[in-house]
Amino acid sequence: QVQLVESGGGLVQAGGSLRLSCAASGRTFSGVSMGWFRQAPVKAREFVAAIVWSEGSTYYADSVKGRFTISRDNAKNTVYLQMNSLKPEDTAVYYCAARYGSQWRRAKDEYPYWGQGTQVTVSS
């Protein structure tokens, strides 16, 4: 079991920045991968970024590559999503997710553990 608690969402102007945090607890993370997903009201939940905990390897959706950065802090058992150059189309509820496995995945069904979500709103 992995428990996730998210924070850091809010309202920001287009072009601004925001950092989301996800504090994780549970079993040893050596075999855990974590991801960020987002869901707008009229859209399905979509992949944003992923990180393999043991390696620190990162992967991104094309829509956010170059603007968002996923990272982890081993000492704090926390994963971050730094979001820069935000656009109105980035507005969504952002979810932290976790799975057991060293291979990254982009499908939401691959992640059995989820945080509660945090709202990110980008105004024009």
- Give the model confidence (pLDDT) of 35-70 as tens digits: 999 999 999 999 999 999 888 899 999 999 999 999
**pLDDT at residue 28, rounded to an integer:** 63
What is the structure's pLDDT at 101?
Answer: 86
Interacting residues of 6 by C-beta distance below 8 A, sequence separation 6+? 20, 21, 22, 23, 94, 95, 96, 115, 116, 117, 118
pLDDT computed for residue 29 by the predictor: 67
How far from the centroid of its chain's Cα atoms is residue 79's Cα? 8
Smallest CA-to-CA distance from 72 within 32, 109, 110, 17 is with 32
**Residues in the chain where the model's pLDDT stays below 50:** none
Distance of CA 38 to the CA centre of its chain: 8
What does DSSP assign to residue 101?
S
Q: Burial letters for 34-44: b for 16+ Cβ neighbours within 10 Å, e otherwise?
A: bbbbbeeeeee
List strand residue ranges (DSSP E) for 1-124, in order. Answer: 2-7, 10-13, 18-26, 32-39, 46-52, 58-60, 68-73, 78-83, 92-100, 113-114, 118-123
